[in-house]
Amino acid sequence: MTATNEIKKSIIASVWFMFLTFPIMVMKVNTVTQTVEWRWHNMALVGVGAFFLSMLWRYLLKRKEEGGKREKKAGLSLVQRLLQEKQFALPGMLIIALITILFPHIFSMYQTNIMISALIFVVLGLGLNIVIGLAGLLVLGYAAFFAVGAYSYALLNLHFGVGFWIALPIGGILAAVFGVLLGYPVLRLRGDYLAIVTLGFGEIIRLVLENWNEFSFGPSGIKNIPKPGFFGMELSLQASTVYIFYIVVVLVVFTIFVINRLKNSRIGRAWTALKDDEIASQAMGIDKAKTKMRAFALGATWAGMAGVVFAAKTTFINPASFTLWESVIILCTVVLGGMGSIAGVIAGALLLILLPEYMRDFGEFRMITFGAVLIVMMIFRPGGMVEDVRKTYKFEK
Amino acid sequence: MKPILEVKNMTMDFGGLRAIDNIDLSIDKGQIVALIGPNGAGKTTFFNCITGIYTPTSGDVYISPRGKDERLNGLKPNIVTRKGLARTFQNIRLFTSMTVLENVMIGCHAITKAGIIGAIVRGPATKAEEKLIVKKSYSILEKIGLAKYVDELAVNLPYGAQRRLEIARALATDPFLLLLDEPAAGMNPQETMELDELILKIRNTEGVSILLIEHDMKLVMSLSEKIYVVDYGKKIAEGTPEQIRNNPVVIKAYLGEEIEEEFDA
């Protein structure tokens, strides 16, 4: 009975899809001969495809419903268990470290360059993770802070000849200042409202950079930004790429270290509490304004530093690198990877940046896959790839 | 002795609606005081005014935990908590994505001070503070009887335990006055009895005074030393449980006017 019911439902779905796609998949007007071609085989394909997909869809949904209860008891996913097992964690870390160190020497410069951009996005993702994953503030204009970092290095270098290593903290601090500037007026906002305001903020920064020619050289951008120096030595293109790779790796490790510490600290707990319930956390003595500002400022700091590294890597920046699309990608890495989870965000960033690079042949379908993946994720794994686990504390009884 | 909380002529208007009308209230050290009244009488608004969620339109709120008066009007809720007033909520407001222990640890936020730098460097001071927080939180959980749930997510707790966790969390802020907003709501008789014991225990061992809003009259009558009754934002009676039980005005507010006379006439 249920089987025939399922089939019936799927048939209805497939008929519906055949009807919907009829005008674009079946009819084709040949403008030269002025005739209409009827491609009935396409209709059959759509029908069969929709039939099986809808079967699969409902099967997965059902499995999720049944599995939901079971999984909660079983608790952690495979990755989390691996991370917690000491005997796997240490060798695993060593292997990852070894691969990272050898990476630029094994693979070509092209690969290294791609890896650098991916790692920059890892830093961005981790930074945004402070704001979204820990403090629960949905920020949609994160690329603006990235831009502040990149432009502060480019402009400081252009006008005052400031070097990379000095610009790195300055970029971070300037971005933090912008974070506070944005944070202050939006303290009262939550959720969608906050997202809209921050989206506006991101666009403002981009438009200013695009139109204020005297300041930022407009859409033509800034050229010839120096790569980081190695104790005053000039490096070859190859060597400097490897050098930047290591700089980014160190930045990533530093970011992980800091966020890990923050997450399980008094401040980190206050962020999570604010995310869960603002009124209750105020009643617990948490200063809402101060705590939120700290999240904004810290999140922006990492974007700023990533921006400085980005400017040094590409040696050329213009406003086109800091559009809404960048903000959305960073947001996706956090959501896809798992809000609040460090391992998840790293995995998400690597996946989202590397996969499109290696699948350039399917470039046209990038957006559609992106959307589909996000929808499927939200339904089947709303917590992200690697869900965040709360720390458990040890105590003497 | 000076009362530790004194509310004088407090009024709260929402536009044209007067939710609280000229209420006076005072609590002595170590007292258990109940605030009762029909639904919508303004009890929770009263709590919100004291704890800084609302700023009262007029009137004064004074505390004197150490014999010195301090005015609370217009202070932010987190400052009020720091001054030693802790509250629970009528509709449970736990931090659902955190464990039971972490919920209580958040309560320690007000009395600790590690900042960003401290968190990143994690020096000896921060480490010691963290250790202290964990230890203190655990001992509170033991006292409240929630130690077995310590690593559970707060949201997975049974209802009664969630209510108790709210109290535990409030205690972690080191209050001198605990404001309980319907702590027994939705509890079964067994749980209510345990709550009764718990509240007495908190008062007796911690020396914390308690102001509670409650509809469970059995609990109110057995616990409280003084009862205030409000209706439509006005205080209609105050006194010992015995006086309140026999007060015709209170009975009228709860049960309505006697209408038999009209039939007789």
The complex scores an ipTM of 0.87
Please report which residue ranges of chain A form alpha helices under DSSP H: 2-21, 40-74, 78-84, 86-106, 109-129, 143-160, 164-183, 191-211, 213-216, 237-263, 266-276, 278-283, 288-314, 324-337, 342-358, 366-380
Given a contact cutoff of 8 angstroms between Cβ atoms, the answer to whether B20 and B61 are in contact is: no
Which secondary-structure segment (H or E) carries B42? none
Shortest CA distance from B178: residue in chain A: A283
Q: Phi and psi (nearest 5°) for A153?
A: -65, -50
A-facing residues of B in 171-200 (CB < 8 A) are: 172-173
Tokens linked to B90? 């009528």
Among A258, A279, A284, beta carbon nearest to B106:
A284
Q: Is B59 exposed, middle or buried (0-12, 13-18, 19+ CB in 10 A)?
A: middle
Work out the average pLDDT over B211-220: 90
Among A258, A286, A294, beta carbon nearest to B109:
A286
Q: What count of other Cβ atoms lies within 10 Å of the Cβ of residue A273?
A: 28
Does B136 contact chain A (CB < 8 Å)? no
Task: Tell which wins on pLDDT, A391 or A160.
Answer: A160
Given a contact cutoff of 8 angstroms between Cβ atoms, the answer to whether B200 and B237 are in contact is: no
Most A CBs within 10 A among B120, B134, B150, hence the mutation to make, goes to B120
Work out the average pLDDT over A206-216: 90
Does B94 contact chain A (CB < 8 Å)? yes
Q: What is the pTM of this model?
A: 0.84
SS3 letters across B135-203: HHHHHHHHHHCCHHHCCCEHHHCCHHHHHHHHHHHHHCCCCCEEEEECCCCCCCHHHHHHHHHHHHHHH
Residues of chain B with C-beta less than 8 angstroms from the C-beta of A392: 99, 101, 151
Q: What is the reported pLDDT for A73?
A: 43
Given a contact cutoff of 8 angstroms between Cβ atoms, the answer to whether B226 and B33 are in contact is: yes
DSSP assignment of A313-333, as one string? HHS-B-GGGGSHHHHHHHHHH
Cβ A276–B98 below 8 Å, yes or no? yes
Residue A128 has pLDDT above 90, yes or no: yes
A232-239: long-range contacts at Cβ-Cβ below 8 A with a sequence spacing of 24 or more? A237/A109, A238/A109
A245-260 confidence digits (pLDDT tens): 999 999 999 999 999 8
Q: What is the reported pLDDT for A27?
A: 84
Task: Tell which wins on pLDDT, A367 or B224.
Answer: B224
Most B CBs within 10 A among A69, A180, A391, A393, hence the mutation to make, goes to A393
Given a contact cutoff of 8 angstroms between Cβ atoms, the answer to whether A361 and A397 are in contact is: no
Task: Point out the least confidently predicted range of A57-61, A227-231, A245-249, B16-20.
Answer: A227-231
Per-residue confidence band for A396, with pLDDT thresholds at 50, 70 and 90: low
How far is A202 from A140, CA to CA, in rounded Å? 7
Q: What is the reported pLDDT for A352?
A: 87
Cβ B134–A272 below 8 Å, yes or no? no
The order of strands in the sheet holding B85-87 is B70-71, B58-63, B5-14, B17-27, B234-239, B226-231, B32-36, B209-213, B177-181, B85-87
How far is A323 from A100, CA to CA, in rounded Å? 30
DSSP state of A140: S
The length of chain A in residues reads 397
How far is B240 from B252, CA to CA, in rounded Å? 18
Does B92 contact chain A (CB < 8 Å)? no
Task: Point out the least confidently predicted range of A98-102, A301-305, B24-28.
Answer: A98-102
Residue B68 to residues A209, B1, B206, Cα–Cα distance (Å): 57, 12, 21
How far is B150 from B141, CA to CA, in rounded Å? 8
A74-99 confidence digits (pLDDT tens): 445 566 666 666 677 788 888 888 88
Residues of chain A with C-beta less than 8 angstroms from the C-beta of B133: 266
Residue A125 has pLDDT above 90, yes or no: yes
Residue B20 has pLDDT above 50, yes or no: yes
A-facing residues of B in 112-131 (CB < 8 A) are: 112, 114-116, 118-120, 122, 126, 129-130
B63-115 confidence digits (pLDDT tens): 888 777 888 888 899 999 988 899 999 889 999 888 999 999 998 888 888 88
Shortest CA distance from B169: residue in chain A: A284
Per-residue confidence band for B265, with pLDDT thresholds at 50, 70 and 90: very low
Given a contact cutoff of 8 angstroms between Cβ atoms, the answer to whether A273 and B95 are in contact is: yes
How far is B10 from B31, CA to CA, in rounded Å? 21
Residue A397 has pLDDT above 80, yes or no: no
Cβ A275–B114 below 8 Å, yes or no? no
Cβ B114–A287 below 8 Å, yes or no? no
In terms of average pLDDT, the best of A28-32, A147-151, A385-389 is A147-151
Residues of chain A with C-beta less than 8 angstroms from the C-beta of B151: 392
Strand pairing of B209-213 and B32-36? parallel
Cβ B110–A258 below 8 Å, yes or no? no
Tokens linked to A194? 């906050």
A22-79 confidence digits (pLDDT tens): 888 888 888 888 888 888 888 888 888 888 888 888 888 888 777 655 554 444 556 6
How far is B102 from B185, CA to CA, in rounded Å? 24
A281-303 confidence digits (pLDDT tens): 999 989 999 999 999 999 999 99
Does A73 contact chain B (CB < 8 Å)? no
Per-residue confidence band for A238, with pLDDT thresholds at 50, 70 and 90: confident
Does A273 contact chain B (CB < 8 Å)? yes
Residue A187 to residues A106, A200, A291, B214, Cα–Cα distance (Å): 48, 15, 10, 34
Does A21 contact chain B (CB < 8 Å)? no
Query: How many Cβ pairs closer than 8 A exist between chain A and B?
Result: 118
